[in-house]
Amino acid sequence: MGERSLVLTEHQLSDPVELTVQERDAVRSAVDGLSVVPEAGTTDTYRLTCGSTVGVVTVGDLVLELRPKVGLAPLLFMLAYRSSPATWRSATSLAADATLSEALVDLFARFVHDATRGGLLHSYRREQDALTTVRGRVRMTDQMSRRRGLALPVEVEFDEFTPDVLENQILRSAVDRLRRLPLRSETSTRSLTRLHHVLHGISPLRGSRYVPEPRWTRLNAHYRPSVSLASALLVGGLEARAGAHAAAGILVDMNALFEDFVRTALREALGVSERELPSGRSGPRHWLDLDHRVPLEPDLTWWRGGRCVFVGDCKYKRAHGSVPNADVYQMLAYLTAYDLHEGLLLYAAGEADVEDVRIAIANKRVRVRTVDVAGDPESVLSAVADVAEVVRAQHQAGSSGIDSDLATSA
Protein backbone atom coordinates (compact mmCIF):
# COMPACT_ATOMS: atom_id res chain seq x y z
CA MET A 1 0.00 0.00 0.00
CA GLY A 2 1.36 3.46 -0.91
CA GLU A 3 1.53 6.54 1.24
CA ARG A 4 -1.80 8.10 2.20
CA SER A 5 -2.18 11.77 3.13
CA LEU A 6 -4.90 13.28 5.26
CA VAL A 7 -5.17 17.05 5.79
CA LEU A 8 -7.14 18.31 8.78
CA THR A 9 -7.89 21.90 9.74
CA GLU A 10 -7.88 22.98 13.36
CA HIS A 11 -11.31 22.45 15.03
CA GLN A 12 -12.98 21.36 11.78
CA LEU A 13 -14.66 17.98 11.33
CA SER A 14 -13.05 15.88 8.59
CA ASP A 15 -14.75 13.91 5.86
CA PRO A 16 -15.17 10.18 6.55
CA VAL A 17 -11.77 8.45 6.66
CA GLU A 18 -11.02 4.74 6.55
CA LEU A 19 -8.57 3.65 9.26
CA THR A 20 -7.43 0.30 10.51
CA VAL A 21 -7.80 -0.35 14.23
CA GLN A 22 -4.04 0.06 14.63
CA GLU A 23 -4.02 3.38 12.76
CA ARG A 24 -6.98 4.65 14.75
CA ASP A 25 -5.31 3.88 18.07
CA ALA A 26 -1.95 5.24 16.91
CA VAL A 27 -3.19 8.65 15.74
CA ARG A 28 -5.40 9.01 18.80
CA SER A 29 -2.48 8.42 21.18
CA ALA A 30 0.06 10.42 19.14
CA VAL A 31 -1.82 13.73 18.94
CA ASP A 32 -3.17 15.46 22.03
CA GLY A 33 -6.73 16.69 21.59
CA LEU A 34 -7.41 14.67 18.43
CA SER A 35 -11.00 13.42 18.33
CA VAL A 36 -11.62 10.16 16.44
CA VAL A 37 -15.35 9.40 16.18
CA PRO A 38 -16.76 6.30 14.41
CA GLU A 39 -19.03 6.96 11.47
CA ALA A 40 -22.52 5.56 12.08
CA GLY A 41 -23.18 2.25 10.35
CA THR A 42 -19.50 1.43 9.69
CA THR A 43 -16.73 -0.49 11.44
CA ASP A 44 -13.64 1.09 9.86
CA THR A 45 -14.66 4.67 8.98
CA TYR A 46 -14.14 7.68 11.23
CA ARG A 47 -14.39 11.45 11.35
CA LEU A 48 -11.44 13.29 12.87
CA THR A 49 -11.18 16.68 14.52
CA CYS A 50 -7.91 18.14 15.73
CA GLY A 51 -7.66 20.67 18.53
CA SER A 52 -5.14 23.50 18.75
CA THR A 53 -2.20 21.18 18.16
CA VAL A 54 -1.02 21.46 14.56
CA GLY A 55 1.83 19.87 12.64
CA VAL A 56 2.71 16.72 10.74
CA VAL A 57 2.52 13.14 12.02
CA THR A 58 3.35 9.93 10.17
CA VAL A 59 1.87 6.64 11.39
CA GLY A 60 2.85 3.74 9.19
CA ASP A 61 2.00 4.80 5.65
CA LEU A 62 -0.49 7.43 6.84
CA VAL A 63 0.63 11.08 6.79
CA LEU A 64 -1.55 13.31 8.97
CA GLU A 65 -1.19 17.05 8.31
CA LEU A 66 -2.87 19.21 10.94
CA ARG A 67 -3.22 22.76 9.67
CA PRO A 68 -4.03 25.85 11.75
CA LYS A 69 -7.35 27.53 11.10
CA VAL A 70 -5.53 30.82 10.43
CA GLY A 71 -3.53 29.27 7.57
CA LEU A 72 0.13 28.39 7.04
CA ALA A 73 1.40 31.95 6.45
CA PRO A 74 0.36 33.26 9.91
CA LEU A 75 1.85 30.15 11.51
CA LEU A 76 5.20 30.75 9.81
CA PHE A 77 5.06 34.45 10.66
CA MET A 78 4.50 33.82 14.37
CA LEU A 79 7.23 31.15 14.47
CA ALA A 80 9.68 33.43 12.66
CA TYR A 81 8.84 36.54 14.69
CA ARG A 82 9.09 34.84 18.09
CA SER A 83 12.52 33.55 17.02
CA SER A 84 13.83 36.75 15.44
CA PRO A 85 11.83 40.01 15.56
CA ALA A 86 14.62 41.75 13.64
CA THR A 87 14.90 39.41 10.62
CA TRP A 88 11.55 37.62 10.29
CA ARG A 89 10.70 39.36 7.01
CA SER A 90 13.51 37.61 5.12
CA ALA A 91 12.40 34.14 6.22
CA THR A 92 8.64 33.92 5.78
CA SER A 93 8.04 33.50 2.06
CA LEU A 94 5.71 30.59 1.29
CA ALA A 95 5.22 28.64 -1.91
CA ALA A 96 1.58 28.53 -2.97
CA ASP A 97 1.44 24.71 -2.98
CA ALA A 98 3.71 24.08 0.01
CA THR A 99 2.78 21.44 2.53
CA LEU A 100 3.24 22.12 6.23
CA SER A 101 6.35 19.91 6.26
CA GLU A 102 7.94 21.87 3.44
CA ALA A 103 6.99 25.21 4.99
CA LEU A 104 8.71 24.27 8.26
CA VAL A 105 11.80 22.96 6.46
CA ASP A 106 12.16 26.06 4.29
CA LEU A 107 11.73 28.41 7.26
CA PHE A 108 14.30 26.52 9.32
CA ALA A 109 16.76 26.36 6.41
CA ARG A 110 16.66 30.15 5.99
CA PHE A 111 17.36 30.69 9.68
CA VAL A 112 20.28 28.25 9.73
CA HIS A 113 21.73 29.72 6.54
CA ASP A 114 21.77 33.16 8.15
CA ALA A 115 23.45 31.77 11.26
CA THR A 116 26.13 29.74 9.49
CA ARG A 117 26.94 31.90 6.47
CA GLY A 118 30.29 32.75 8.10
CA GLY A 119 30.95 29.13 9.03
CA LEU A 120 29.99 26.97 11.99
CA LEU A 121 30.29 28.42 15.44
CA HIS A 122 33.37 27.14 17.31
CA SER A 123 34.02 27.33 21.02
CA TYR A 124 36.27 25.84 23.66
CA ARG A 125 35.03 22.72 25.39
CA ARG A 126 36.65 21.10 28.42
CA GLU A 127 37.81 17.56 27.61
CA GLN A 128 39.34 14.75 29.65
CA ASP A 129 41.32 11.99 27.94
CA ALA A 130 44.22 9.57 28.22
CA LEU A 131 46.93 10.57 25.71
CA THR A 132 50.45 9.52 24.84
CA THR A 133 51.58 13.16 25.08
CA VAL A 134 50.92 15.82 27.66
CA ARG A 135 48.25 18.31 26.65
CA GLY A 136 46.77 20.89 28.95
CA ARG A 137 46.85 19.83 32.61
CA VAL A 138 47.81 16.41 33.97
CA ARG A 139 45.15 14.97 36.28
CA MET A 140 47.56 13.65 38.87
CA THR A 141 44.98 11.89 41.07
CA ASP A 142 43.53 9.97 38.11
CA GLN A 143 47.00 9.23 36.77
CA MET A 144 48.16 7.69 40.03
CA SER A 145 44.96 5.72 40.66
CA ARG A 146 44.44 4.41 37.14
CA ARG A 147 47.99 3.97 35.80
CA ARG A 148 49.76 2.73 38.94
CA GLY A 149 53.16 4.17 38.14
CA LEU A 150 52.99 3.78 34.33
CA ALA A 151 54.29 6.78 32.41
CA LEU A 152 51.87 6.37 29.49
CA PRO A 153 49.15 7.08 28.71
CA VAL A 154 48.77 10.35 30.58
CA GLU A 155 45.44 11.39 32.12
CA VAL A 156 44.99 14.98 31.00
CA GLU A 157 42.40 17.75 30.91
CA PHE A 158 42.44 20.37 28.15
CA ASP A 159 40.29 22.86 26.24
CA GLU A 160 39.32 21.75 22.73
CA PHE A 161 38.36 24.38 20.13
CA THR A 162 35.55 22.58 18.34
CA PRO A 163 32.31 23.11 16.41
CA ASP A 164 30.70 20.30 18.42
CA VAL A 165 29.08 22.72 20.86
CA LEU A 166 25.55 23.00 22.24
CA GLU A 167 24.34 25.55 19.67
CA ASN A 168 25.31 23.32 16.73
CA GLN A 169 24.05 20.21 18.52
CA ILE A 170 20.58 21.79 18.79
CA LEU A 171 20.60 22.63 15.07
CA ARG A 172 21.80 19.12 14.18
CA SER A 173 19.04 17.53 16.25
CA ALA A 174 16.40 19.68 14.56
CA VAL A 175 17.73 18.68 11.13
CA ASP A 176 17.49 15.01 12.11
CA ARG A 177 13.91 15.58 13.25
CA LEU A 178 12.91 17.38 10.04
CA ARG A 179 14.46 14.67 7.87
CA ARG A 180 11.83 12.26 9.20
CA LEU A 181 9.02 14.36 7.75
CA PRO A 182 7.46 13.45 4.39
CA LEU A 183 8.63 15.85 1.67
CA ARG A 184 7.55 15.99 -1.96
CA SER A 185 9.51 19.12 -2.88
CA GLU A 186 13.02 18.53 -4.24
CA THR A 187 13.99 22.01 -3.05
CA SER A 188 13.10 21.17 0.54
CA THR A 189 14.86 17.81 0.32
CA ARG A 190 18.02 19.45 -1.03
CA SER A 191 17.90 22.08 1.71
CA LEU A 192 17.83 19.42 4.41
CA THR A 193 20.57 17.41 2.72
CA ARG A 194 22.75 20.51 2.55
CA LEU A 195 22.16 21.26 6.24
CA HIS A 196 22.97 17.66 7.10
CA HIS A 197 26.33 18.00 5.33
CA VAL A 198 27.06 21.36 6.98
CA LEU A 199 26.45 19.86 10.41
CA HIS A 200 28.19 16.55 9.68
CA GLY A 201 30.21 15.39 12.68
CA ILE A 202 28.14 17.37 15.18
CA SER A 203 26.71 15.26 18.00
CA PRO A 204 22.90 15.25 18.33
CA LEU A 205 21.35 16.04 21.68
CA ARG A 206 20.65 13.21 24.07
CA GLY A 207 16.98 12.92 24.91
CA SER A 208 14.02 13.95 22.80
CA ARG A 209 12.11 16.80 24.46
CA TYR A 210 14.39 18.73 26.83
CA VAL A 211 16.48 21.34 25.01
CA PRO A 212 19.14 23.13 27.10
CA GLU A 213 19.40 26.92 26.72
CA PRO A 214 22.84 28.13 25.60
CA ARG A 215 24.49 31.00 27.44
CA TRP A 216 24.14 33.91 25.05
CA THR A 217 26.99 36.36 24.51
CA ARG A 218 28.05 38.69 21.72
CA LEU A 219 30.09 35.80 20.26
CA ASN A 220 27.12 33.51 19.64
CA ALA A 221 24.24 36.02 19.46
CA HIS A 222 23.93 35.52 15.67
CA TYR A 223 22.92 31.90 16.37
CA ARG A 224 20.07 32.76 18.70
CA PRO A 225 17.22 33.01 16.12
CA SER A 226 18.05 29.65 14.53
CA VAL A 227 18.53 27.95 17.89
CA SER A 228 15.23 29.40 19.15
CA LEU A 229 13.36 28.00 16.15
CA ALA A 230 15.19 24.67 16.39
CA SER A 231 14.27 24.39 20.08
CA ALA A 232 10.60 25.01 19.29
CA LEU A 233 10.64 22.24 16.69
CA LEU A 234 12.42 19.82 19.03
CA VAL A 235 10.06 20.48 21.94
CA GLY A 236 7.19 19.62 19.59
CA GLY A 237 8.99 16.58 18.24
CA LEU A 238 7.18 13.26 18.25
CA GLU A 239 8.98 9.94 18.24
CA ALA A 240 7.03 7.07 19.73
CA ARG A 241 5.58 3.64 19.12
CA ALA A 242 1.83 3.33 19.27
CA GLY A 243 0.88 -0.32 19.10
CA ALA A 244 2.27 -1.87 15.94
CA HIS A 245 3.00 1.50 14.34
CA ALA A 246 5.88 3.93 14.87
CA ALA A 247 4.70 7.53 15.05
CA ALA A 248 7.00 10.42 14.15
CA GLY A 249 6.53 14.09 13.41
CA ILE A 250 6.54 17.65 14.67
CA LEU A 251 3.66 19.29 16.52
CA VAL A 252 3.08 22.92 17.49
CA ASP A 253 0.74 24.02 20.27
CA MET A 254 -1.00 27.10 18.86
CA ASN A 255 -1.96 28.27 22.36
CA ALA A 256 1.71 28.38 23.41
CA LEU A 257 2.82 29.87 20.09
CA PHE A 258 0.29 32.72 20.30
CA GLU A 259 1.41 33.45 23.85
CA ASP A 260 5.11 33.44 22.89
CA PHE A 261 4.46 35.63 19.85
CA VAL A 262 2.45 38.20 21.81
CA ARG A 263 5.04 38.38 24.57
CA THR A 264 7.88 38.87 22.07
CA ALA A 265 5.96 41.48 20.07
CA LEU A 266 5.03 43.41 23.23
CA ARG A 267 8.66 43.47 24.34
CA GLU A 268 9.62 44.96 20.99
CA ALA A 269 6.80 47.51 21.02
CA LEU A 270 7.45 48.55 24.62
CA GLY A 271 11.24 48.41 24.43
CA VAL A 272 11.57 46.20 27.51
CA SER A 273 13.76 43.21 28.30
CA GLU A 274 12.97 39.55 28.95
CA ARG A 275 13.70 40.19 32.61
CA GLU A 276 11.06 42.95 32.79
CA LEU A 277 8.46 41.05 30.73
CA PRO A 278 9.30 37.38 31.41
CA SER A 279 7.60 34.25 30.23
CA GLY A 280 5.02 32.79 32.58
CA ARG A 281 7.25 30.21 34.24
CA SER A 282 10.48 32.20 34.31
CA GLY A 283 9.02 35.19 36.17
CA PRO A 284 8.98 35.59 39.95
CA ARG A 285 6.83 32.96 41.65
CA HIS A 286 3.51 34.11 43.07
CA TRP A 287 0.61 32.41 44.82
CA LEU A 288 -3.04 33.23 45.32
CA ASP A 289 -3.18 31.87 48.87
CA LEU A 290 -1.10 32.40 52.01
CA ASP A 291 -0.16 28.72 52.25
CA HIS A 292 1.36 28.73 48.74
CA ARG A 293 -0.79 25.89 47.47
CA VAL A 294 -2.36 27.78 44.53
CA PRO A 295 0.43 28.98 42.22
CA LEU A 296 -0.21 31.69 39.63
CA GLU A 297 1.34 31.71 36.17
CA PRO A 298 -0.15 34.54 34.09
CA ASP A 299 1.04 34.74 30.50
CA LEU A 300 2.06 38.40 30.71
CA THR A 301 3.61 40.25 33.64
CA TRP A 302 5.66 43.45 33.75
CA TRP A 303 8.00 43.86 36.70
CA ARG A 304 9.56 47.01 38.07
CA GLY A 305 11.60 47.23 41.25
CA GLY A 306 10.57 43.71 42.28
CA ARG A 307 6.86 44.53 41.95
CA CYS A 308 4.39 43.41 39.29
CA VAL A 309 2.87 46.53 37.71
CA PHE A 310 0.92 44.84 34.89
CA VAL A 311 -0.71 41.45 34.39
CA GLY A 312 -2.41 39.96 31.35
CA ASP A 313 -3.38 36.67 29.76
CA CYS A 314 -3.46 35.45 26.14
CA LYS A 315 -6.30 33.38 24.75
CA TYR A 316 -5.94 31.64 21.41
CA LYS A 317 -9.65 31.77 20.68
CA ARG A 318 -12.34 34.14 19.48
CA ALA A 319 -14.20 36.47 21.81
CA HIS A 320 -17.88 36.25 20.81
CA GLY A 321 -19.58 39.44 21.97
CA SER A 322 -18.94 38.77 25.65
CA VAL A 323 -15.98 37.43 27.58
CA PRO A 324 -16.26 33.87 28.97
CA ASN A 325 -16.88 33.84 32.72
CA ALA A 326 -13.91 31.57 33.40
CA ASP A 327 -11.53 34.06 31.75
CA VAL A 328 -12.85 36.91 33.90
CA TYR A 329 -12.58 34.81 37.06
CA GLN A 330 -8.97 33.98 36.17
CA MET A 331 -8.07 37.63 35.65
CA LEU A 332 -9.82 38.66 38.86
CA ALA A 333 -7.62 36.15 40.74
CA TYR A 334 -4.49 37.64 39.13
CA LEU A 335 -5.51 41.21 39.92
CA THR A 336 -6.32 40.31 43.49
CA ALA A 337 -3.06 38.44 44.08
CA TYR A 338 -0.88 41.13 42.47
CA ASP A 339 -2.89 43.98 44.05
CA LEU A 340 -3.59 45.67 40.71
CA HIS A 341 -6.67 47.57 39.56
CA GLU A 342 -6.55 46.68 35.86
CA GLY A 343 -5.55 43.71 33.76
CA LEU A 344 -5.68 42.60 30.14
CA LEU A 345 -7.32 39.70 28.31
CA LEU A 346 -5.98 39.37 24.77
CA TYR A 347 -7.77 37.17 22.24
CA ALA A 348 -6.47 35.88 18.92
CA ALA A 349 -9.68 36.95 17.16
CA GLY A 350 -13.04 38.45 17.97
CA GLU A 351 -15.50 41.23 17.39
CA ALA A 352 -14.11 44.74 17.62
CA ASP A 353 -16.88 45.86 19.99
CA VAL A 354 -16.17 43.37 22.78
CA GLU A 355 -16.41 45.50 25.91
CA ASP A 356 -14.18 45.71 28.95
CA VAL A 357 -15.42 44.07 32.13
CA ARG A 358 -15.81 46.33 35.16
CA ILE A 359 -16.02 44.76 38.61
CA ALA A 360 -17.09 47.66 40.79
CA ILE A 361 -17.36 45.79 44.09
CA ALA A 362 -13.68 44.81 43.81
CA ASN A 363 -12.61 48.07 42.12
CA LYS A 364 -11.15 46.11 39.19
CA ARG A 365 -11.31 46.44 35.42
CA VAL A 366 -10.45 43.76 32.87
CA ARG A 367 -9.46 45.31 29.56
CA VAL A 368 -10.39 43.14 26.57
CA ARG A 369 -8.52 43.42 23.27
CA THR A 370 -8.10 41.27 20.14
CA VAL A 371 -5.25 40.70 17.72
CA ASP A 372 -6.48 38.92 14.60
CA VAL A 373 -3.47 36.74 13.78
CA ALA A 374 -5.08 35.65 10.50
CA GLY A 375 -4.29 39.07 9.02
CA ASP A 376 -1.13 40.10 7.21
CA PRO A 377 1.97 40.57 9.38
CA GLU A 378 1.96 44.35 9.26
CA SER A 379 -1.66 44.60 10.42
CA VAL A 380 -1.00 42.06 13.19
CA LEU A 381 2.02 44.02 14.46
CA SER A 382 0.02 47.26 14.23
CA ALA A 383 -2.68 45.69 16.41
CA VAL A 384 -0.03 44.59 18.92
CA ALA A 385 1.33 48.15 18.97
CA ASP A 386 -2.16 49.39 19.92
CA VAL A 387 -2.30 46.79 22.69
CA ALA A 388 1.14 47.93 23.85
CA GLU A 389 -0.27 51.41 24.52
CA VAL A 390 -2.96 49.87 26.71
CA VAL A 391 -0.27 47.89 28.53
CA ARG A 392 1.88 51.00 28.94
CA ALA A 393 -1.02 52.90 30.51
CA GLN A 394 -1.74 50.04 32.91
CA HIS A 395 1.97 49.82 33.76
CA GLN A 396 2.10 53.52 34.62
CA ALA A 397 -1.01 53.26 36.78
CA GLY A 398 0.28 50.12 38.47
CA SER A 399 3.75 51.51 39.19
CA SER A 400 2.39 54.79 40.60
CA GLY A 401 -0.41 53.21 42.64
CA ILE A 402 -3.08 55.34 40.93
CA ASP A 403 -6.58 54.01 41.40
CA SER A 404 -8.68 53.38 38.32
CA ASP A 405 -11.78 55.39 37.62
CA LEU A 406 -14.10 52.51 38.48
CA ALA A 407 -15.23 53.81 41.81
CA THR A 408 -16.43 57.10 40.30
CA SER A 409 -17.82 55.73 37.05
CA ALA A 410 -19.70 52.74 38.46
Fold designation for 272-409: Trna Endonuclease; Chain: A, domain 1 (3.40.1350)
The chain-wide mean pLDDT, for the chain, equals 87
> Which pLDDT score is estimated for 159?
72
Inform me whether the pLDDT recorded for 81 exceeds 60: yes
Per-residue pLDDT tens over the stretch 34-46? 999 999 988 899 9
> Which pLDDT score is estimated for 407?
37
The mean pLDDT value for 102-120 works out to 93
> Which pLDDT score is estimated for 195?
95
Whole-Å CA distances, 67 to 25, 56, 237, 239: 21, 9, 16, 20
Highest mean predicted confidence (pLDDT) among 135-144, 148-157, 179-188: 179-188
| Cα gap 331→350, rounded to integer Å | 18
Inform me whether the pLDDT recorded for 235 exceeds 80: yes
In this prediction, residue 400 has a pLDDT band, given cuts at 50, 70 and 90, of low
| Higher local confidence (pLDDT), 152 or 233 | 233
In this prediction, residue 243 has a pLDDT band, given cuts at 50, 70 and 90, of low
Inform me whether the pLDDT recorded for 1 exceeds 60: no
The mean pLDDT value for 324-345 works out to 94
| Higher local confidence (pLDDT), 135 or 30 | 30
Inform me whether the pLDDT recorded for 401 exceeds 60: no
> Which pLDDT score is estimated for 141?
75
| Higher local confidence (pLDDT), 410 or 107 | 107
Secondary structure element (H or E) that encloses residue 310, with its range: strand 307-319
In this prediction, residue 284 has a pLDDT band, given cuts at 50, 70 and 90, of confident
% of the chain at pLDDT higher than 70 = 88
Q: What number of CA atoms fall less than 13 Å from residue 114's CA on the CB side?
A: 22
Query: Do 74 and 81 touch, CB atoms closer than 8 A?
Result: no
Inform me whether the pLDDT recorded for 410 exceeds 50: no
Q: How many of the other CB atoms lie within 10 Å of CB of 235? A: 16
Inform me whether the pLDDT recorded for 241 exceeds 90: no
> Which pLDDT score is estimated for 85?
93
Domain residue spans of the chain = 1-69+237-252, 123-162, 272-409
> Which pLDDT score is estimated for 408?
37
Residue 149 CB-density burial (10 A; 0-12 exposed, 13-18 middle, 19+ buried): exposed
> Which pLDDT score is estimated for 281?
77
Enter the pTM of the model: 0.86
Whole-Å CA distances, 200 to 194, 322, 328: 10, 54, 52
> Which pLDDT score is estimated for 409?
40
Of 118-122, 181-185, 222-226, 268-272, minimum mean pLDDT range = 181-185
CA-nearest of 253, 247, 256 to 279 is: 256
In this prediction, residue 258 has a pLDDT band, given cuts at 50, 70 and 90, of very high
> Which pLDDT score is estimated for 331?
95
Of 54-63, 229-238, 346-355, minimum mean pLDDT range = 346-355
Query: Do 46 and 24 touch, CB atoms closer than 8 A?
Result: yes
> Which pLDDT score is estimated for 312?
96
Q: Which residues of 345-377 are buried (b: 16+ CB within 10 A; e: fewer)?
A: bbbbbbeeebeebbeeeeebbbbbbbbbbebeb
| Higher local confidence (pLDDT), 322 or 370 | 370
> Which pLDDT score is estimated for 319?
76
In this prediction, residue 369 has a pLDDT band, given cuts at 50, 70 and 90, of very high
Rg (CA), the chain: 25
